Amino acid sequence: MTKIVDDPESFASSALAGFSRVYGRYVRLVTGGVVRSTAVPRGKVSVVVGGGSGHYPAFAGYVGPGMADAAVAGEIFASPSTAAVARVCRNADHGGGILLGFGNYAGDVLNFGVAAERLRAEGIDVRIVTVTDDVASAPADRHLARRGIAGDFLVFKVAGAAAEAGLSLDEVERVTRLANARTFSFGVAFGGCTLPGATGPLFTVPEGMMALGLGIHGEPGIRDARIVPASDLAALLVDTVLAERPAGARRAAVLLNGLGATKYEELFVLWGVVERRLQAQGVDLVAPEAGEYVTSLDMQGCSLTVMWLDEELDRFWLAPCDTPVFRRGAAFETQPALVREEAEDAAPTFGPTSGAARESARCLAGILDAMVVALAEAEAELGRIDAFAGDGDHGQGMRRGATAARDAIHQAVAGGAGAKSALAAAGDAWADRAGGTSGAIWGLLLRSWSSAFSDTTALQDADIVRGARLALDDVMRLGGAKPGDKTLVDAFVPFVTALETAAAEGLSRKDAWQKASTACAAAAEATAPLSPRLGRARPLAERSIGHPDAGAVSLALVARTVAGRL
């Protein structure tokens, strides 16, 4: 459990700020992350990595000569927002293009992907490589559907070395994809981790048992087994990872990774038998590492990662680097970078409005007020539902995002915004503050809904119905979910369909919304028997069965809350 904390809400940002002060010779703090504080040649490919906080030394600890040029940091176990990714990339751009690297999680894929689109529109060439090393999360024939765990470290090491060597963006992308395709990990947990400010872990492991196939965001393993001696644990880890050994492969970079609360001495005991078993199976170990490289707050456990080397990967794995957490080879001669003034987000401006449109914006602000209250009251319950197969932070993220949206919409109203601009500002703030998958989805949902509104006329019933359809279409298109995947979409589709039907029947705004809200609630409950096909819950499908989807439940809660304000 995290004991040293002031405000849990600012834990991640406070930790990043403190890290930046300790390691100022390597990094400089920028909004949303860190960038290298040493000079970088113009035209060099920038390797930007990132994800949620809580995994130190991933990802800020990887920044330095020979590895990453920058790291984006979200809240604890939550994807950084689209805006944060774009900001950090702009600060890290040296003219050679950007390679974005992150673990394969839905929120990261969405936020990094949308940020890449924005940057490309600005003229910056951006490539994306997601790390997919966790053999427990998907079968071999669906390698690219796997999540990224400790393999992040090895893949990013290769990417950074390739960029430091002066390779082009095309070549850095190619080498990084090769490294990912040849990297495999498997882990076990002996105990769950606890979010800052929480009183209990996200999941527990029965006494004398271990969870196999853990996630690094507090997700429980795919199944439990009895704790075994080090020799048997080594056999489990090695044999599982070597099951997908490429034909003819012998040389390998190997990492035995601790998850945050496993003593180094325990890792070293385990390493002795891991090494012997690897060698007995004909593996030539190349500069192996044991220690904490991708953690999960205070989780008890470990993972084994093997990256099979060819001549090219061998060279980049052994190449020099100098970062806060990892140093290899000859020291780099560096000079402090010229500090560029960080561009601040432009203050929102609003065009001409009417009194009726401003009154509609005030009504929307009142709805956000009620949403914040409802989500704050439901935070613990939403987290409990999410923890069955996720990381348990859904309630926290929803409350945090709604609070930011409420503050933004009131600021927009005070600035004279109409309904369209006010709701769009709320959506952007929700996505930027909440991060993670739900933050990205709700930010997109509100912004898309706002596109049906006006800044010059009063909000009409038809606008609300049309906006609902636009929001649903964009969420499904960009989020990739469809009915039956056990996501928010399973409740959103019946909501929109019922709203459109009720409106076509001539029901009043309040009655139409109430009917849609009822349909939404029923659909949310109906997600309980479904097996998740997207997101962090997918590898833990059996644990999710019997429990409704947290995103669908929170949508139903919001729909019911809005019904009470109409």
pLDDT in tens, the chain (566 residues): 678 888 888 999 999 999 999 999 999 999 999 999 999 999 999 999 999 999 999 999 999 999 999 999 998 988 898 889 999 999 999 999 999 999 998 889 888 988 898 899 899 999 999 999 999 999 999 999 899 999 999 999 999 999 999 999 999 999 999 999 999 999 999 998 988 988 888 778 899 999 999 888 867 678 899 999 999 999 999 999 999 999 999 999 999 999 999 999 999 999 999 999 999 999 999 999 999 999 999 999 999 999 999 999 999 999 999 999 999 998 888 898 887 776 555 567 788 899 999 999 999 999 999 999 999 999 999 988 887 766 677 898 899 999 999 999 999 999 999 999 999 999 989 988 886 788 889 998 999 999 999 999 999 999 999 999 999 998 988 777 899 999 999 999 999 999 999 999 999 999 999 999 999 999 999 999 998 876 554 445 556 788 899 999 999 999 999 999 88
H or E element that contains 185? strand 183-191
Domain boundaries, the chain: 8-196+203-322, 355-563
CA 168 to CA 173: how far, in whole Å? 9
CA 12 to CA 141: how far, in whole Å? 36
**Is residue 47 a contact partner of residue 159, using CB atoms and an 8 Å limit?**
yes
Burial (CB < 10 A; 0-12, 13-18, 19+), residue 354, is: middle
Structure tokens at 99: 């390679």
- Fold match between domain 8-196+203-322 and domain 355-563: no
- Least Cα distance to 491 among 427, 444, 558 occurs for 558
Pairing assessment for the beta strands 98-103 and 46-53 based on DSSP bridges: parallel
pLDDT of res. 2:
75
pLDDT of res. 502:
97
Cβ neighbours of 377 (radius 10 Å): 12
CA 281 to CA 242: how far, in whole Å? 9
**Is residue 459 a contact partner of residue 354, using CB atoms and an 8 Å limit?**
no
Residue 143 annotated in active site: no
Task: Report CA 492 to chain centroid distance, whole Å.
Answer: 22
pLDDT of res. 1:
64
CA-derived radius of gyration, the chain: 24
Hey, what CATH topology would domain 8-196+203-322 get?
A: Rossmann fold (3.40.50)
The three-class DSSP label of residue 157 is: helix
CA 394 to CA 397: how far, in whole Å? 5
C-alpha torsion angle, residues 302, 308, 311, 317 (rounded to 10): -10
**DSSP-derived secondary structure for 13-65:** HHHHHHHHHHTTTTEEEETTEEEE-B---TTPPEEEEEEEESSTTTTGGGBST
**Which residues are bridge partners to 543 per DSSP?**
none
Burial 302-328 (b: 16+ CB within 10 A, else e): bbbbbbbbeeebbebbbbebbbbbbeb
Q: Which of 55, 217, 394, 410 is catalytic?
A: 217
Structure tokens at 345: 């987000």
Please name the residue ranges forming H helices in 97-194: 106-121, 151-164, 169-181
- Least Cα distance to 136 among 189, 74, 195, 192 occurs for 189
CA 456 to CA 101: how far, in whole Å? 43
Cβ neighbours of 334 (radius 10 Å): 16
Burial (CB < 10 A; 0-12, 13-18, 19+), residue 230, is: middle
CA 317 to CA 155: how far, in whole Å? 9
The three-class DSSP label of residue 537 is: coil
**Chain position carrying tokens 């800020």:** 60
- Least Cα distance to 147 among 186, 97, 114 occurs for 186
pLDDT of res. 524:
97
Residues 6 or more apart in contact with residue 21 via CB below 8 angstroms: none
Classify the C-alpha dihedral 416-418-420-426 as positive or negative: positive
Pairing assessment for the beta strands 46-53 and 70-76 based on DSSP bridges: parallel
CA end-to-end span of the chain = 43
Q: At the fourth CATH level, which superfamily is domain 355-563?
A: DhaL domain (1.25.40.340)
Structure tokens at 182: 């040849």
**Which residues are bridge partners to 27 per DSSP?**
36
- Least Cα distance to 485 among 555, 544, 443, 444 occurs for 544
Burial (CB < 10 A; 0-12, 13-18, 19+), residue 332, is: middle
- Least Cα distance to 300 among 221, 199, 392, 394 occurs for 221
**Is residue 147 a contact partner of residue 107, using CB atoms and an 8 Å limit?**
no
**Is residue 299 a contact partner of residue 193, using CB atoms and an 8 Å limit?**
yes
